[in-house]
Amino acid sequence: MINIQEGVKLHVIPTKTFKTLSIQLMFKTTLKKETITERALLSYLLETNSLNYPTQTDFRKRLSELYGAEYYTDVSRIGNAHILSINMDIVNDSYLDQTGLFEDVIDFLYQTLYHPHVFDHAFHGPTFDREVTNLKDEYASRIDDKEDYAAMKLMDLFFESGKHSMPILGVEEELQKLNPKRLYDSYKDMLLHDELDIIILGDIETDRVKTAFEPWTFGPRSKSNASIFQKIKRSKVMKRFEESQDIHQTKLAIGFRLPVYFKEEDFAAGLIFDGLIGGYTHSKLFTRVREKEGLAYAISSDLDSFRGLMLVTAGIDDDKSQKVEDMIVEELKTLQEGHFSESDLQLTKALIKNEFMQTLDHPDSIIASLYSDILINGPVWSIDDWVETIDAVTKQDVQRLAKTCTQEAVFLLRGEKSS
């Protein structure tokens, strides 16, 4: 890791595994409800054109000239961090007849970031209007995906509105408040004040990377002292909400508080607990609710180790909703009482370790793992560290952790056509 400037760090991950180079610029700020929608729109605008390449055709033509470089943007929420990432995947020019592709790509990134499609201190109006329309279309598709919709509504219940309940792409009500000038002001603030991690993965020398970024001018930005983890207090009441729509399949979403945080004391036990209850096909929920009882078309659990919650979702017939919910709670109790076999424990460990090994086959997964370590300012675990940590978890550890899991919220999207 190289400190370029206060709040700006360069990370080069050397590997000969891939014939490509992956470049990611991660702009991070503290999550605020007021900026979620505008940053989502920013990510759309930055992906489509720039001042030097003002049309989508110009923009894509330049990427084609860079040997088919892939360019994409993203926004994410990791605990209390709000990240806008600029990403490029390119051919390593050591495999080409010419050199200098990496430097050309870094220049393209500079032109895109520091010379966006802006006139009179405002984003280009037609581009702005088009991307607003595209984001509205994304909102509509989110409502059409009933599983995502149920999870979104569950988060609204779980966090009682606010920055953690709002979808990461924002909401239409906030989108309507934006205009090209306000969005450009927000963009300038991001460039000047966000913490920035530049991550390069591939077979390239660190000195070459440093030299390529020397023309960039970075001002210092202060580091946030806010905890990356959103630690949830146990609720005194269990929240519940129901909604009906003209759909065939009812969607059940249950939010559990599970005090497990990335690489903290019970992290490995939390991964195993999630795997045992609903993460895999041998899990309690899958084998009983779906396979044995035939009460769910699909059922699974998912752990969020930056916000201390576990989400269980199921697609069911409407008249089975209470029975399925009761069965989910029953299966939680069986884990709390230690009713799971040593073979299931070992199988879960093996699957978790295998998933980690598979991440090493994908550049984006390797970078995501490193960035999580950057966010918590923690140690980078080797493969042996991961294996040792998972293998050290005992049945008693999982049972003890299971006892801390509490049901906090339930959202039921009833299907009026459900039989």
Q: What is the CATH number of the domain that holds 367?
A: 3.30.830.10
Write down the pLDDT at residue 160: 79
H-only helix segments in 47-124: 56-65, 101-114
Would you say residue 234 lies in a domain?
no
Write down the pLDDT at residue 418: 53
Encode pLDDT of 343-367 as tens digits: 999 999 999 999 999 988 999 999 9
Asked if residue 183 and residue 278 are part of one domain, the reply reads no
Asked if residue 179 and residue 41 are part of one domain, the reply reads yes
Parent domain of 36: 2-213
Asked if residue 299 and residue 202 are part of one domain, the reply reads no
* Domain count of the fold of the chain: 2
Query: Is residue 419 over pLDDT 70?
Result: no
Asked if residue 272 and residue 389 are part of one domain, the reply reads yes
Bigger pLDDT: 321 vs 160: 321
Share of the chain above pLDDT 70, in %: 99
Asked if residue 79 and residue 135 are part of one domain, the reply reads yes
Asked if residue 244 and residue 139 are part of one domain, the reply reads no
From the number of C-beta atoms within 10 Å of its C-beta (0-12, 13-18, 19+), residue 292 rates as exposed
Write down the pLDDT at residue 399: 97
Do the beta carbons of residue 116 and residue 123 sit within 8 Å? yes
Asked if residue 209 and residue 250 are part of one domain, the reply reads no
Strands 8-14 and 195-202: parallel
Would you say residue 229 lies in a domain?
no
Would you say residue 353 lies in a domain?
yes
Encode pLDDT of 276-306 as tens digits: 999 999 999 999 999 999 999 999 999 999 9
Asked if residue 245 and residue 166 are part of one domain, the reply reads no
Would you say residue 222 lies in a domain?
no
Residue where one domain finishes, among candidates 171, 196, 213 = 213
pLDDT band for position 417 (cuts 50, 70, 90): low
Would you say residue 311 lies in a domain?
yes
Asked if residue 253 and residue 184 are part of one domain, the reply reads no
Average pLDDT of the residues in 222-247 = 88
Average pLDDT score over the chain: 94
Do the beta carbons of residue 398 and residue 276 sit within 8 Å? yes
Bigger pLDDT: 183 vs 248: 183
Query: Is residue 223 over pLDDT 90?
Result: no
Asked if residue 53 and residue 88 are part of one domain, the reply reads yes
Write down the pLDDT at residue 71: 97
Write down the pLDDT at residue 416: 74
Residue 257, Ramachandran bin (φ over 0: left; ψ between -120 and 50: alpha; else beta) = beta
Would you say residue 220 lies in a domain?
no
Would you say residue 20 lies in a domain?
yes
Would you say residue 371 lies in a domain?
yes
Query: Is residue 188 over pLDDT 70?
Result: yes
